[in-house]
Amino acid sequence: MVTFEINSKKHIHKGHAKTYNFKKANFIKIKEALNVIDWQKLFHGKNTEDKWNIFKLTLEKYTSQYIPLVNKYKRNRLKPMWLSRKVTKEMKNKKKAFKAFKFDKSEASYKAYRAANKACKNAIRWAKLENEKEIAKESKTNPKRFFRYINSKKPKSENVGSLKSESGLLLTEDQDKAEILNDYFSSVFIKEKPITGDMKFINKNLLIQSDWLTQDKVLQKLNNVNVNKAPGPDGIHPRVLRELCVEICKPLFLIFQDSFLSGIVPEDWRKADVVPIFKKGLKFVPGNYRPVSLTSVAGKVFEGLLRDNIQEFIGRYNVIGKNEHGFMKHRSCQTNLITFYEEVSRSIDQGVAVDVIYLDFAKAFDTVPHKRLLFKLRKNGLDENTCSWIENWLKDRVQRVVINGTFSRWTPVVSGVPQGSVIGPILFNLFINDLEIGIESHVSVFADDTKLGKVMQCEQDATSLQRDLDKLGDWALKWQMRFNLDKCKVMHFGVKNTQVIYTLNGMELGKSKQEKDLGIIIDFKLSNNVQCQTAAAKASKVLACIKRGVHSRDENIILPLYKSMVRPHLEYAVQFWAPVLKKDIIALEKVQRRV
């Protein structure tokens, strides 16, 4: 049996998912209906769950009444904007001429078919050109149409294709694919061990800002809701929340306030629709997909308010160390790379060897143990109301995988912080915040990517670095995190490097001469040549795609495409890897000149 994969740009949607037709929505009627509701009277004597359900059902009642539904994957949406009547006519003539040629096989009919085919191609080319000229002309008066066209030229994340089960069976139905991905995503969860006695602490009882939750701040968050995001399992669309922000800010404020003070999180906020995102490798392997959770948008509005309060608390008391660059204000991949490799470069310039260990956690966000996380939140000084709310938010969570509107069964989420949630990243930062305690080497962290650097001036330095690795192994064991040892590598910098062998959890770490660190290629000579050539090659490929896919050469079309699709490859963290050699400068400038 021969197995092969067909990669097609055409996406076939088998689902029957519905979505709101906002073009025909009557928000004025909905606002009138909501404005006469006395929410305090309606909520009187109700608990958080009941208040949320009353709000949700009320909103559903009026949205279903005044906003019609339409099939999410309508056939006419696949119709290109340039397909005019003239082009349709030429396509029919071509088809007619081809049938005539197939019927009699004469020289005359063949010439007629070739002429019709040429006329059809010319008509399509001119139709595309005229369409692009029209879009460019309207770019200032109708920017929405312009950017819709720009986005259509960007590479799309492909649908989940056929998947292979453990028994080798190829699954093609959406339901089967959703179930096998759901099984895989839930298989990475861990069962938490009891917290031992040596994990006791004294709560710092640090001051938490008291005015972080107000009706005005709820309104501000609702005004900033991204309407292009997908709704969560509760079905409340983000555009509905933003359009009705003034009318619903009061009931949502009352729900948020009651939820925080009682520590009770509505059930809908603890549900997630998981969208599988392909990473790399073979597309039929379920393990090569990453889960991204779509949760309640209203719940994420509250998460945003809570996150802002926690961030203010972290900044005030310097809770998170300076070596953590992920999900932190005024820090980024660029600051991580520059601060770490500046020390490495300085040591090499002085003729001193440096050893760098690249560490990678296996399924880091999905395996965070909940009780240990809550222990660390309290240890870091978060108030009891915040900790109790997060504890309930993590408790009894469920998720399901969705593919083309087809859902898997619900599965319990027993560990981890949801990828796609608002407070998930900051909770992860607080969880790994104590990772560097007692470490003698230079530590640099970006979320779950960790680097250790040590200057090698004597044998004791290598011993010290190995001791740090042992401490990290003990830390991971204590907090039930697991290193992906296949991806943990050591890179030896400097010509006088003795290339010591290091171990982690009893396994020898592999040596590497080239690593991709936060998207930037690092080699053992600290040369940026490979990174420059790689960036230029990627940018050139994208530019070639634009050249093939866009017929117009109008600068109003080409420049936005260049800025949004090509320049990011040339400019990402360029302050760190800026070219020095003439050949690298020429390679990057060559891409610019092609534009």
Q: What average pLDDT does the segment 279-297 reach?
A: 92
Whether pLDDT at 2 is above 90? no
Round to whole Å and give the CA distance between 459 and 467. 13
Among 386, 412, 438, residue at a domain's last position: 412
Whether pLDDT at 76 is above 50? no
Q: Partners of 397 in the beta sheet?
A: 413
Q: What average pLDDT does the segment 305-324 reach?
A: 93
Residue 43 domain-assigned?
yes
Q: What is the pLDDT of residue 70?
A: 85
Round to whole Å and give the CA distance between 392 and 179. 27
Instruction: Please give the model's pTM, rounded to 2 decimal places.
Output: 0.86
Round to whole Å and give the CA distance between 393 and 266. 9
Please tell me whether residue 414 adopts helix, strand or coil conformation.
coil
Whether pLDDT at 209 is above 70? no
CATH number of the structural domain spanning residue 467? 3.30.70
Round to whole Å and give the CA distance between 444 and 341. 10
Round to whole Å and give the CA distance between 433 and 426. 10
Phi-psi region of 293 (alpha: psi -120 to 50; beta: other; left: phi over 0): beta
Domain check: are 250 and 303 in the same one? yes
Query: What residue type is 104 in one-letter code?
Result: D
CA separation, residue 125 to residues 10, 137, 528 (Å): 21, 18, 42
- Does residue 211 or residue 334 have the better pLDDT? 334
Domain check: are 302 and 213 in the same one? yes
Q: What is the pLDDT of residue 10?
A: 47
Q: What is the pLDDT of residue 205?
A: 57
Domain check: are 124 and 211 in the same one? no
Q: Partners of 181 in the beta sheet?
A: none
Domain check: are 452 and 346 in the same one? yes
Domain check: are 450 and 489 in the same one? yes
Q: What is the pLDDT of residue 266?
A: 98
Domain check: are 98 and 237 in the same one? no
**How confident is residue 460, by pLDDT bands cut at 50, 70 and 90?**
very high
Round to whole Å and give the CA distance between 365 and 217. 29
Residue 523 CB-density burial (10 A; 0-12 exposed, 13-18 middle, 19+ buried): middle
Round to whole Å and give the CA distance between 595 and 119. 30
Domain check: are 438 and 575 in the same one? no
> pLDDT tens, 489-540?
999 999 989 999 999 999 999 999 999 999 999 999 999 999 999 999 999 9
Q: Which H or E run contains 254?
A: helix 245-262
Q: What is the pLDDT of residue 404?
A: 87
Q: What average pLDDT does the segment 464-492 reach?
A: 96
> pLDDT tens, 543-554?
888 888 777 787
Residue 178 domain-assigned?
yes
- State the average pLDDT for the chain: 90
Query: What residue type is 376 in one-letter code?
Result: K
Nearest to 344 by CA among 452, 450, 500, 449: 452
Residue 69 domain-assigned?
yes
* 6: Cβ contacts below 8 Å, ≥ 6 apart: none
Nearest to 445 by CA among 356, 329, 509, 359: 359
End-to-end alpha-carbon separation of the chain, Å?
A: 47
Structural domain total, the chain: 4
Q: What average pLDDT does the segment 144-149 reach?
A: 73
**How confident is residue 75, by pLDDT bands cut at 50, 70 and 90?**
very low
Q: What average pLDDT does the segment 399-424 reach?
A: 94
Residue 330 domain-assigned?
no
Q: Partners of 515 in the beta sheet?
A: 522
Q: What is the pLDDT of residue 161?
A: 85
Phi, psi of 294 (to 5 degrees): -100, 115
- DSSP-assigned letters across all residues of 37-71: --HHHHHTT--HHHHHHHHHHHHHHHHHHHS-EEE
Domain check: are 172 and 289 in the same one? yes
> pLDDT tens, 218-274?
999 999 999 988 999 999 999 999 999 999 999 999 999 999 999 999 999 999 999
Instruction: Spell out the alpha helix ranges (H) of 263-326.
Output: 297-317
Residue 384 domain-assigned?
yes
Beta-strand ranges (E) seen in 218-288 are 271-278
Q: Residue 43 is encoded by which pair of tokens?
A: 């909520």
Domain check: are 132 and 22 in the same one? no
Round to whole Å and give the CA distance between 248 and 240. 10
Round to whole Å and give the CA distance between 56 and 252. 10
The answer to whether 277 and 294 have CB atoms below 8 angstroms apart is no
Whether pLDDT at 93 is above 80? yes
Phi-psi region of 480 (alpha: psi -120 to 50; beta: other; left: phi over 0): left
Phi-psi region of 451 (alpha: psi -120 to 50; beta: other; left: phi over 0): beta
Domain check: are 407 and 435 in the same one? no
- Does residue 386 or residue 206 have the better pLDDT? 386
**How confident is residue 578, by pLDDT bands cut at 50, 70 and 90?**
very high
Residue 2 domain-assigned?
no
Residue 117 CB-density burial (10 A; 0-12 exposed, 13-18 middle, 19+ buried): middle
Whether pLDDT at 136 is above 70? yes
Among 489, 514, 539, residue at a domain's last position: 514
Domain check: are 273 and 187 in the same one? yes
Identify which of 125-134, 143-152, 547-556 has the greatest average pLDDT: 125-134
Tokens 């369409």 map to which residue? 131
Residue 419 domain-assigned?
no
- DSSP state for residue 273 in the 8-state scheme: E
Round to whole Å and give the CA distance between 479 and 473. 10
Domain check: are 339 and 480 in the same one? yes
Residue 5 domain-assigned?
no
Round to whole Å and give the CA distance between 493 and 511. 11
* 308: Cβ contacts below 8 Å, ≥ 6 apart: 212
**Structural domain boundaries, residue 549:** 529-594
